[in-house]
């Protein structure tokens, strides 16, 4: 097992967050990012990014971090 997917997922999460910063309300922005991931990410991708947040999460931007924490198990 490598970490190709995780590297991509972190990048994707941060990119989604960066493109949804216009609302001016951190919670609403994080919800939007989480909603996007819920709708478009595969089960394994969501599980992997959640696991990453639980163990480390340092490379996620604040909004991305909050969004991942909102993802349902």
Partner 1 sequence: MIQIFDPNVDYNKDYGTPASVSENLITLEIDGKSITVPEGTSVLRAAAEADINIPKLCATDNLEAFGSCRICAVEIEGRRGTPASCTTPAEAGMKVTTQNKRLGKLRRNIMELYISDHPLDCLTCPANGNCELQDVAGEVGLREVRYGFSGENHLDAEKDNSNPYFSFDPSKCIVCSRCVRACGEVQGTFALTIDGRGFDSKVSPGQNEAFLDSECVSCGACVQACPTSTLMEKSVIEVGQPEHSVVTTCAYCGVGCQFKAEMKGAEIIRMVPYKGGQANHGHSCVKGRFAFGYATHEDRITKPMIRDSIDEPWQEVSWDEALNFAATKLRGIQEKYGRESIGGITSSRCTNEETYLVQKLIRAAFGNNNTDTCARVCHSPTGYGLKATLGESAGTQTFDSVMYADTIMVIGANPTDAHPVFGSLLKKRLRQGAKLIVADPRRIDLVKTPHVETHHHLTLRPGSNVAFVNAMAHVIMSEGLEDRDFIAKRCQTEAFNAWRHFITEERHSPENTEAITGIPAAELRSAARIYANAKNAAIYYGLGVTEHSQGSSMVMGIANLALATGNIGREGVGVNPLRGQNNVQGSCDMGSFPHELPGYQHVSDDAVRARFEAVWGVELDNEPGLRIPNMFDAAMDGTYKGMYCQGEDIAQSDPNTNHVHAAMRALECLVVQDIFLNETAKFAHVFLPGSSFLEKDGTFTNAERRINRVRKVMPPLAGKQDWEVTQALSNALGYPMNYSHPSEIMDEIALLTPTFSNVSYERLEEMGSLQWPCNDNTPDGTPIMHLDSFPIGKGHFAITEYVATEERSTRKYPLLLTTGRTLSQYNVGAQTRRTENQVWHDDDVLELHPQDAEDRGIKDNDWVGITSRSGETVMLAKVSDRMQPGVVYTTFHHPHSGANVVTTDNSDWATNCPEYKVTAIQVIKVNEPSEWQQRYHEFHQEQIGHLHSARGEKRSGSVAGE
From 12, 59, 69, 71, residue interacting with partner 1 (rule: CB under 8 A): 12
Q: Which two tokens stand for residue 19?
A: 């493109």
Q: Minimum distance from CB of 69 to partner 1 (Å)? A: 19
Q: Smallest distance from the beta carbon of 40 to partner 1, in angstroms? A: 5
Q: Of residues 31, 35, 36, 59, which one binds partner 1 by CB under 8 A?
A: 36
For residue 41, state whether it binds partner 1 (rule: CB under 8 A). Answer: yes
Angle, helices 43-55/26-40, rounded to nearest 10 degrees: 140
Neighbouring C-beta atoms of residue 53, cutoff 10 Å = 20
In the block, residue with structure tokens 């478009």: 40
């Amino acid at each position: 097992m490598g970490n190709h997917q995780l590297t991509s997922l972190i990048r994707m999460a941060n990119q989604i967050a960066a493109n949804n910063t216009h609302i001016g309300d951190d919670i609403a922005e994080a919800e939007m990012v989480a909603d996007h991931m819920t709708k478009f990410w595969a089960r394994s991708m969501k599980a992997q990014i959640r696991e990453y947040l639980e163990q480390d999460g340092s490379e996620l931007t604040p909004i991305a971090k909050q969004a991942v924490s909102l993802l349902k198990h």
